[in-house]
Structure 1
Amino acid sequence: MTVKIGLIGLGMIGRDHLQRFSSVIKNAKVTAVCDINKNTADAVAAEYNATAFYDAEEMINSELVDAVFICSIGPVHKAQILTAFNAGKPVFCEKPLTPTAIEAKEIIEAEVRTGKRLLQLGFMRRFDPGYNALKATIDSGKLGEILLMHCAHRNASVPESYTLEMAVNDSATHEIDIIRYLLDENIVSVRVDKPAKKTRRALPHLQDPLIVIFETESGVRIDDELFVNCNYGYDIGCEVIGEDGITALTEQALTTTRTQHGNSRHITTTCMERFATAYDREVQNFVDQVSAGAEMTGPSSWDGYVVALVCDAGLASLKDGEKHAVNIPECPALYRQ
Structure 2
Amino acid sequence: MAEETGQGVPDIAAVLIAGPTASGKSAAALELASRFGGVIVNADSMQVYDELRILTARPNLDEERLVLHRLYGTVSAAERYSVGRWLADVEAVLEEEKALRRLPILTGGTGLYFKALAEGLAATPEIPAEIRERWRSRAETLTPAELHEELCERDPAMAERLPETDPQRIVRALEVFEATGVSLADWQAEEATPLLPPEQTLRMVVAPDRAELYAKIDRRFDAMLQRGALDEIRVLAELNLSPELPAMRAHGVPELLDALEGKISREEAIETSKTMSRRYAKRQLTWARRFMADWHWVESAAEAVEFASARLGRSEAATP
Q: TM class by shorter-chain length?
A: under 0.3
Q: TM-score of the superposition, structure 2-length normalised?
A: 0.25
Q: Choose between structure 1 and 2: higher helix proportion.
A: 2
Q: TM-score of the superposition, structure 1-length normalised?
A: 0.24
Q: Choose between structure 1 and 2: higher strand proportion.
A: 1
